[in-house]
A and B are shown apart, each in its own frame.
Chain A
Amino acid sequence: MSATSSSASTSPGAGIPHLDVDPFAIEFFDDPYPTHQLLRDAGPVVYLDQWKVFGVARYAEVHAVLNDPLTFCSSRGVGLSDFAKEKPWRPPSLILEADPPAHTRTRAVLSQVLSPTVMKQIRDRFAAAAEAKVDELLALKSFDAVTHLAEAYPMSVFPDAVGLNQEGRENLLPYAGLVFNAFGPPNQLRQDAIERSAPHQAYVAAQCQRDNLAPGGFGACIHARVDTGHITTVEAPLLVRSLLSAGIDTTVNGIGAAIYCLARFPGQLARLRQDPSLARNAFEEAIRFESPVQTFFRTTSRDVEIAGNRIGEGEKVLMFLGAANRDPRRWDNPDDYDIIRRTSGHVGFGSGIHMCVGQLVARLEGEVMLAALARKVGRIEISGPVKRRYNNTLRGLESLPITLTPA
């Protein structure tokens, strides 16, 4: 990828294939894989006429765009909306929707609050909660794995780890759903979410204040960085907001993806039961396989070439993380869920300076839950109709009825 000095052309992306697909349509969400293949095979970069954006769906180009954050910037929004042209629906995130050098400082604060050292401190608590949850579910036997497991487990550990009040937690999932819908185009999903958002936004704004966060939690740790001069009193609540935006629904869909995989691939569950130490990689592979966060946008900060194709300044580029994670140019048998696959390099958590800052919390939750299931559960059977949940960015289920058989 290199800069070009040529002036803007009249038609966007001369020589780049134009495709008439809507990756934010319900029909697409129902089965994105044929369209992912179409997008990858059309070329290293495509143009989507419906939303007037460029797109990259092959692993190499997605990885390259993610790792050139100055050319493909985030400060103009990581959704379709260009903050240079349109007022953002909420005050921009100080980390997700920021570029270096501003991003470097805020990122360092969250990295320290969610570091490997901190994970060691919370690990036993998260693991005990996962064991207890699986015992409770084995007693239930048949239940909806989305509500009773994928949502219930993160909700039982993460809000406490942040230090949230007990009251109002029911706003967390709707707020996160709103945030991830809002990255999409102005379709029904986005409009409905924003219309219903006022109470959830009010809850989050209040909950991010220092007085509302329990001592010792992630939230209080962020506010403590005000005292050391790393961030201001105005910045601290917005950084707590990042945890509430991206810390719950993502792990809900990650754990949901893993359960859905293990239910559909019983051979892989058998392998996991034989060696529960594979739990962490089984979770990681589910993130690659389902890619709970399917897409993010960037905006070009200058004229640039992607694989020889010129893109002008100020253009939106849509990165298909889910398509990259199943690109046969990068992965052997990409459509197989394989818990011993070498998953390193997948872009399910992104890559580069904006790579998910909470990835260690997600892996911890996923690992301890799958390890508990591996030790206690013999079989996972899908025992009712599977329903998809539709969101402009998140891929996951509305309902996954399963029946567990004890080990």
Chain B
Amino acid sequence: MPAITFIHPNGERERIDAGDGESAMLAATKHGLDGIVAECGGNAMCATCHVYVDQAWLARLPPMSDEEDALLDGTAAERLANSRLSCQIKLAAELDGLVLRLPERQI
């Protein structure tokens, strides 16, 4: 079961186990994590599950689609080079230990 560490804006770390093939967004919302809103429920339509991917992991994620790229231009917190939508990050064994930082706001 791959684990994800979410780091809140205040530095607090939260480790969550994700199901294989589950998105980082779904794992977070299932565990009641604050900081991921996911208004659209994982359909890549709302940009409220924004995360900053730890640099060590960035290159290991699958490339983003044009839709995700366009949505990231509309995030509430600033878009950075390591911005992704967590609904588009599907967990697998090779992503065990993934570190994601949460933005100040999603809306």
- Which residues of A does B touch, CB under 8 Å? 108, 111-112, 115-120, 280, 284, 342-347, 349, 351-353, 355, 357, 359-360, 363
Does B107 contact A280, Cβ atoms closer than 8 Å?
A: yes
Does A359 contact B74, Cβ atoms closer than 8 Å?
A: no
Does B39 contact A363, Cβ atoms closer than 8 Å?
A: yes
- What are the 8 tightest A-B residue pairs by CB atom distance, in nearest-first order? A116-B74, A117-B74, A344-B38, A345-B41, A116-B47, A355-B43, A117-B73, A344-B29
Does A359 contact B40, Cβ atoms closer than 8 Å?
A: yes
Does B67 contact A351, Cβ atoms closer than 8 Å?
A: no
Enumerate chain A residues within 8 angstroms of B73, measured Cβ to Cβ: 115-117
Taking a contact as CB atoms closer than 8 A, the residue among B29, B37, B41, B74 that contacts A115 in the complex is: B74
Taking a contact as CB atoms closer than 8 A, the residue among A115, A284, A344 that contacts B71 in the complex is: A115
A-B CB pair tally, cutoff 8 Å: 54
Residue of A nearest to B105 (CB): A277
Enumerate chain B residues within 8 angstroms of A347, measured Cβ to Cβ: 41
Does A116 contact B71, Cβ atoms closer than 8 Å?
A: yes
Does B41 contact A346, Cβ atoms closer than 8 Å?
A: yes
Residue of B nearest to A279 (CB): B107
Interface residue tally of chain B, by bracket?
10 to 19
Q: List 27 A-B contacts (CB under 8 A).
A: A111-B45, A112-B70, A115-B71, A116-B71, A116-B74, A117-B70, A117-B73, A117-B74, A284-B39, A342-B29, A343-B39, A344-B29, A344-B37, A344-B38, A344-B41, A345-B29, A345-B38, A345-B41, A345-B42, A347-B41, A351-B41, A352-B43, A355-B40, A355-B45, A359-B45, A359-B46, A363-B39
Task: Identify 17 new A-B residue pairs, CB closer than 8 A, beyond the known A116-B73, A353-B43.
Answer: A111-B67, A111-B70, A115-B71, A115-B74, A116-B47, A116-B75, A117-B70, A344-B29, A346-B41, A349-B40, A351-B43, A355-B40, A355-B41, A357-B45, A359-B39, A360-B45, A363-B39
Does A116 contact B46, Cβ atoms closer than 8 Å?
A: yes
Enumerate chain A residues within 8 angstroms of B11, measured Cβ to Cβ: none
Alpha-carbon separation in the docked complex, A349 to B38 (Å): 13
Enumerate chain B residues within 8 angstroms of A363, measured Cβ to Cβ: 39
Nearest-CB distance from A342 to chain B (Å)?
6
Enumerate chain A residues within 8 angstroms of B43, measured Cβ to Cβ: 351-353, 355
Enumerate chain A residues within 8 angstroms of B32, measured Cβ to Cβ: 342
Nearest-CB distance from A96 to chain B (Å)?
15
Nearest-CB distance from B101 to chain A (Å)?
20
Alpha-carbon separation in the docked complex, A119 to B70 (Å): 13
Nearest-CB distance from B14 to chain A (Å)?
16
Alpha-carbon separation in the docked complex, A108 to B42 (Å): 17
Alpha-carbon separation in the docked complex, A120 to B47 (Å): 12
Does B29 contact A120, Cβ atoms closer than 8 Å?
A: no
